[in-house]
Chain A
Amino acid sequence: MSAEFELSRNITIGQYLPTDSVVHRLDPRFKLAAFVIMILAIAICGTYVGNLFALAICIAMFWVSKIPLHYGLSGVKPAIPFIIILATLQLLFYGEIARGGTVYFQYGFVTISSESVRLVLVSAMRFVEVIFLSSVLTLSTSTTELTHGMERLLGPLQKVKFPVHAFALIITIAIRFVPTFAMEMEKMMKAQASRGADFGTGEWWRIIRRTKDMLPIIIPLFNVALARAEDLILAMEARCYMPGASRTQYTHYKANGKDYAALIISIFISVIMLYIPW
């Protein structure tokens, strides 16, 4: 009850757990590349064994990066209802699409076969794998490294006029302001509650009513955000920022053996996943 309005203290986005493992010390460009490769492999791999293998690798990643597994599990927990809903929908409606295999059950449009069961289980596993991998990535990489890595990886796109620097800057600023806005929102909720507002007490189906109740928070928050953005633009301009102008970079990364090794290992794992036939 006393935590009714405590938002900013419970925010965990961009939570970085510095345990100084091998994974932490990887060059963020290579770490990101390896992450993307693994995610792609997970997206493609549709076999039980391949996904069990991937799941095992993901769990091993926690151990290698010295991050307690419960950090990953706490990421999975809020996703469980979603996974269940997805599984139910797949089971009900995908029977027609995922044809083949033995049919276990059929009634009306609902067909449950070994193929649709596989689809459901593999999807659920994929979900968990992606959450685990993303957790390891964000827990072992500071937001600064993440944006730097992304900026460098996307670098080649500059040739086709994609504004890579601006893109990276936007993401950095967005992350930078998450705690600020969490605090702002908390303050706004408290201030309006002090004036007699109540949020989230009405029944959930009275959506219009509940949205209306949120206006005293949303509108000021929006105004504050605009004012902050205006200030920020001024401050950036005052420090010689020009959109589109070329800039130098403070942080430089030098890849070494372990970074290349990480990349090769991730490719190797992906190939195994995709070649497992069951």
Chain B
Amino acid sequence: MTSPIVDVTDLSHVYMQGTPLAHQALDRVSIQVERGECIAIIGHTGSGKSTLIQHLNGLMRPQSGKVIVNGLDVSDPKVDVRLLRRQVGLVFQNPEDQLFEKLVGDDIAYGPFKMGLPIAEVKERVEWAMELVGLSFDEMKDRPTFALSGGQKRKVALAGVLALRPHVLVLDEPTAGLDPRSRNELLQRIRRLNQEEGLTVIFVSHNMEEVARLAQRVYVMANGQIACEGTPRHIFGNSSLLQEHHIGTPEAVDILYQLLEQGYAVDTGSFLPEEAAAEILNLIKR
């Protein structure tokens, strides 16, 4: 219970090593994620976020350093990669692109079938995964995938990964390109997976409102390193940190900073609109 479910120590990775185009994507990165946590990884494009998350399910192997996920050592060449990939469900950016079966149910069943599970269990898993993402099994399983909306396709893709029953869910930009309606719904689903199903969630995001609403802890990456780590309150409440790493702020935080600059005593770590409103009420309702 005490050891973290994801334990990355001094992980480094160089692309195209030994050529003039060599590029250090990861530089002694260490992260520890406890069971049941919800973690955000933020940083510029090219800061090493996607290279890092691809190490978590063994798509990439450590060149140096250690990656241990739920007791499995990713750097061990003899590690059971397929077992590892079932433990860590990795959802790529725009995962709706990866659907390939004609029918929704078949596509979600692909992973469980590949595991060699009996039909009854495959069906049970598909049903379970579909309900988790908010797709009715009876209504949707026989729908053709191509006719779905973008938001629905993304849910199908997410269900396809959940059907592997992973312990850790890793998502790359889960809501990029969705409209506000689908975005809000998906965020709620992810939150529920984390809080009710006890799934450990790690997600990469550029959207600070999303980070503020979802994450318990944030890792900020820059130039292949972990620049800093802390709760959203800590990260957004520290203006020098935000400026140094060019982290965007949630709008609520931006308003609070403007107030702080004008000499008001506000807690800039209050990143939710409700909290910011409370701060403002404090100022004017004296």
Contacts and interface: CB of A to CB of B under 8 A. Distances in A.
Interface of A: 1-2, 4-6, 9, 184, 187-188, 190-198, 215-216, 219-220, 223-224
A1 B15 contact: no
Contact of A195 (B54, B61, B164): B164
Contacts of B114: 195-198
B110 A195 contact: yes
A127 to B, nearest CB: 28
Contacts of A190: 54, 59, 90, 92
A9 B15 CA distance: 8
B97 A220 contact: yes
A191 B89 CA distance: 10
A216 B110 CA distance: 9
Contact of A193 (B16, B59, B77, B160): B59
Contacts of A224: 97
B115 interface: yes
22 contacts: A2-B63, A5-B59, A187-B97, A188-B98, A190-B92, A191-B90, A191-B95, A191-B97, A193-B59, A194-B90, A194-B92, A194-B161, A195-B85, A195-B160, A196-B85, A196-B111, A196-B164, A197-B110, A197-B114, A219-B100, A220-B97, A223-B97
Interface residues of B, number: 31
B154 interface: no
A219 B97 CA distance: 10
B61 A2 contact: yes
B52 interface: no
Contact of A2 (B60, B110, B146): B60
B129 to A, nearest CB: 12
Contact of A220 (B82, B85, B98): B98
A78 to B, nearest CB: 19
Contacts, number: 70
Contacts of B63: 2
Nearest to B115: A196
Contact of A9 (B16, B61, B77): B16
Contact of A1 (B16, B77, B111): B77
Nearest to A197: B114
Nearest to B160: A195
A190 B97 CA distance: 12
B66 interface: no
Closest 5 CB pairs of A and B: A196-B114, A219-B100, A2-B61, A194-B90, A195-B111
A197 B54 CA distance: 16
B180 to A, nearest CB: 23
A1 B160 CA distance: 26
A191 B16 contact: no
A220 B96 CA distance: 9
B48 to A, nearest CB: 15
B99 interface: yes
Interface string B59-97: 111110000000000000100001001100110110101
A6 B59 CA distance: 10
Nearest to A219: B100
Contact of B82 (A1, A4, A192, A198): A198
A198 B111 CA distance: 11
B61 A1 contact: yes
Contacts of A187: 92-93, 97
A191 B53 CA distance: 12
Contacts of B111: 195-196
Interface string B1-20: 00000000000010110000
A188 to B, nearest CB: 6
Contacts of B97: 184, 187-188, 191, 220, 223-224
A19 B111 CA distance: 49
